Amino acid sequence: MAVTPTGLAGSRSHPTKVTVSNVADLLNRRHGAYYHAHSRASVIRINPLRRGRRDFSISSLPTALVVPTVFFGLLVTLWTYKCFMMVLFQNKIIYMPSIPPFSRSEKIADYAHSCSPVVWEERRIKSPDGTLIALCVGTVPIQRRRPPPRNVTILYFQGNGSSLPPRLPGLSQVLRNVSGRGPDDESSTSYTLVGLSYRGYWTSRGRPSQRGIELDAQAALSWTLSEFRRPGSEDSIILWGQSIGAGVATTAAAAHFLIDADKDTDKSKSVISGIILETPFMSIRSMLTTLYPQRWLPYRYLWPFLWNSWDSEAALQAIAKAKAWPKLLIVQAEKDEVVPKEQTDRLAGICREVGFSFSREIVRGALHTEVLAKGRGRTIIQTFLRDAH
């Protein structure tokens, strides 16, 4: 009997005998049709999704834009990397305690001949946080028949880089010239110079940072007061800071006057009788803006990430509120290659705004570290040291 199942025969008029081979052939044809339809549907479903997704690569750019795009990307990467490194390593960049190499192994004895007749010795004290710091104490050995009527101690704060010993010959010239001429000069004032080696510099322990150096300056000032100021005398201290040391000097003076604010102190009898700011700047932030005036450069916008400020403007405003005002000398190097002239102009403007009595001197032909190398520079500082007490 012939059987014509639906889909297994061609027509009713021509019945087809069902065999195993016929069924297998029919299934193969249907499977191929299904696979083709399924693949087609898959393409139809996937293509719209692929059209909605945006893939970007250098190969998709026009040829003319490939080189500028790569260059711009490298430039942005370089700027980002440099900004990150400047923030992360700002203490090393600002203070440079180990530059030049072997500066921390310098010895006072290596410069003793150039310092004569001034005698220098190293003293060690503890900062409030326990860090051991070094001092260089210089005196002119003069045999006097009786003690001098007044002792003036100069507390010196160095600039960044190097250590104290290479600076001693220049400081010795100043100290020698302001000291008494001999045992018969009974009316002369006795001068002593104390140089502070910040933490991380020379033989001092620790690592430099603003907070740490502020503690070191407080310790050096307290030690100087206890060591050289005689009770009931007219002995005084003059703070002298060079470059970043000028910021240390103003900050130390502001902290001292803040502590002394509640005391009944006569305005004419300040223990800090003078401050010398040699090649100073306003603050680290203002230096960033001055050195990078272009608004498209990222460096000037890094100041929120700085933990070193050395803001002399704020310090001078605090000093101006004190009961006793010290005399102030601003020394500017005419050809300063580090601190622009605008910084000194703004610092002088702040002094005028707060009513601070100050004098400003310019050393002709001097670079940033050459004030003491010029005869005019030494004379300016020596005159101030004699008149400030």
For position 200, what pLDDT does the model report? 97
For position 6, what pLDDT does the model report? 45
Mean pLDDT estimate for the chain: 85
Tokens 């002119």 label which residue? Answer: 140
CA dihedral 97, 251, 226, 133 (to 10 degrees): -20
Which DSSP helix (H) or strand (E) runs through 114? helix 112-115
Find, among 89, 80, 118, the residue nearest to 208 by Cα: 89
Find, among 110, 172, 101, the residue nearest to 141 by Cα: 172
For position 300, what pLDDT does the model report? 81
Q: At a CB cut-off of 8 Å and minimum separation 6, what does 206 contact?
A: 127, 131, 133, 199, 200, 212
For position 64, what pLDDT does the model report? 80
Note the pTM of the prediction, 2 decimals.
0.80
For residue 263, give the amino acid letter: K
> Which residues in the chain show pLDDT less than 50?
1-14, 18, 20, 23, 27, 33-52
For position 323, what pLDDT does the model report? 78
For position 46, what pLDDT does the model report? 41
pLDDT tens sequence across 318-348: 999 887 789 999 999 999 999 999 999 999 9
